[in-house]
Every structure is written in structure tokens, then in C-alpha cells.
Amino acid sequence: MHNAAFRVLGIDAVYLAFDVPPVRLGAAVSGARSLGIRQLAVSIPHKQAVMEHLDEVDPTARRIGAVNTVTLRGERLVGSNTDWLGAVLALERETKLSGARAVVLGAGGAARAAVFGLLERGARVVVLNRTPERARALASSLGAHGAGELSELRAGAYDVLVNTTSVGLKEERSPIRADALHPAALVMDAVYEPEHTRLLRDAQAQGARTLSGKWWLVYQAAEQLRLWTGREPPIETMAEAFDRAARA
């Protein structure tokens, strides 16, 4: 996605993937600093641990508790988070969030980013998780409006549903029962492999609108590109790059 964007924007840069084991994270960050690498995208499982290796973490990333973007500013490595804005911009392709009743499934880092973003945009947010204590802790730390177990989801009780659990990742399962879905809902999955998860197909079968994890992934990457280059990200180009990679 990033390389496709660099090409159409005429930016002389290359994005490379490195598989870094947790014990090598500090060495990887200081190696990147020494090499003068300008930007890092940080993924699972390093989004929290990377913070202690940076010179600065911006207040939003600190509040979410995770960094997915590192930028070299002069001599300083600065951490930020584009996952929350990625989730919001993806949802805003389809709906207005202010005043919407939103339910976020899950209570990990992706859930924190989604809940933060939805609250920023003025939604009413409830967090549901397999382990309800984690949902309650997340809700109270970010100021969400309610929390509970996955089984508490009721059709009709929400406008926007965001799955951040790993259920459905490379498997044919949904985190919720199909009868908890309804036609007026907008349902987004964080899972993008497969792109059309069981949850999204169940939602479509109920007549709901859906957004695949591809859009969340594309928009968080697009916001990284904006931070790094100051340029308007070419969303469609990045989405097409995702499609090509998914077909390969």
C-alpha cells in the first residue's frame, strides 16, 4: 500500500517489512535510528512495547496506550497512533458518527483505538468482550458509556458495530450470533484475512451495510503516509494495492 502510494505521489522512498522478535525490539529501533530510517510502521506484537524505546509519544497515542507510527523528527523518534483515525475515517465512508450508538467487540489494543475514535466523534459507545472485566476496565479508562459480555449484544440496540476481536481471522467463525445483527446496522470488521469474514457475511444476509477490515487497514496506513509526507494520501491506489496483495 505504501509503495503504491509513493509511486503515484512521486516520492523517492521505499517501505520494507521486517520481522522483529520481541527480544530484539530495542535493538531494531536503535538500528533504525542509526541508519536514519525516517519512519516506522509498528505492528503486532510491538505496539505497546515500542513506546519505551522512543524519545516522545504524542498524547493521543499515550491515551490509547499504543503506537503504530514512528517518525524521525530531527534526532528524535516520535510515536503516534493512526489506528483510531483509520477506524473513524473508514466508518465515515458510510455513516455519520456523531450521536450514533456504537458497540465495539473486544478489549485489546484495536478496541482501545476504536473506542477512542468513536468517542472523539461524539458516538455513544458500549464495549462488549468475552472477558467482561476487560471491557469494563477499557470503558472506564476511556469514558465509554457501557460494557458487558459479547452475548449481551441485541439486534436494534446499535447503529454501528465494530469487531476488534480476533475471531474470524483465518477461520469461519463469528464473535456473535447472527440474530444479534439487524438491517439498519453498519458493521465493520478489523479482521481483513479473509476480507469477507463470517461476521460480515452474516451482517449482509440480514441486510446490514458492511465495511471490511481492508478499509480500516487502508485508512490507518493512509494517515501514516499523511504524517510522514504531509501529502494527501491516494486512498483508492492504496486499496487497489491491498486487493492485488490479497489476490496474490
Which residues does the annotation mark as catalytic?
Answer: 47
Q: Would you count residue 176 as binding ligand ATR (CB under 6 A)?
A: no
Q: Would you count residue 108 as binding ligand ATR (CB under 6 A)?
A: yes
Q: At what angle do helices 2-9 and 235-247 cross, to 10 degrees?
A: 140
Q: Would you count residue 233 as binding ligand ATR (CB under 6 A)?
A: no
Q: Which one of 65, 79, 86, 106 is in contact with ligand ATR (CB under 6 A)?
A: 106
Residue 136 has φ and ψ, to the nearest 5°, of -65, -40
Least spacing, CB of residue 110 vs ligand ATR, in Å: 4
- Rounded to an integer, what is the distance from CA 89 to the centroid of its chain? 10
At residue 74's C-alpha, the angle toward residues 71 and 76, to 5°, is: 60
Stretch that binds ligand ATR, among 20-28, 29-37, 109-117, 239-247 (CB under 6 A): 109-117
Residue 56, beta-bridge partner list: 78
Give the helix, strand, coil percentages of the chain, each rounded to 5. 45, 15, 40
Q: Would you count residue 39 as binding ligand ATR (CB under 6 A)?
A: no
Nearer to ligand ATR (CB atom), residue 175 or residue 234: 175
Residue 70, beta-bridge partner list: 40, 79
Q: Would you count residue 234 as binding ligand ATR (CB under 6 A)?
A: no
Q: Which of residues 153-172 bind ligand ATR (CB under 6 A)?
A: 164-167
Q: Give the interface with ligand ATR as residue ranges (CB under 6 A).
A: 44, 106-111, 129-131, 134, 164-167, 175
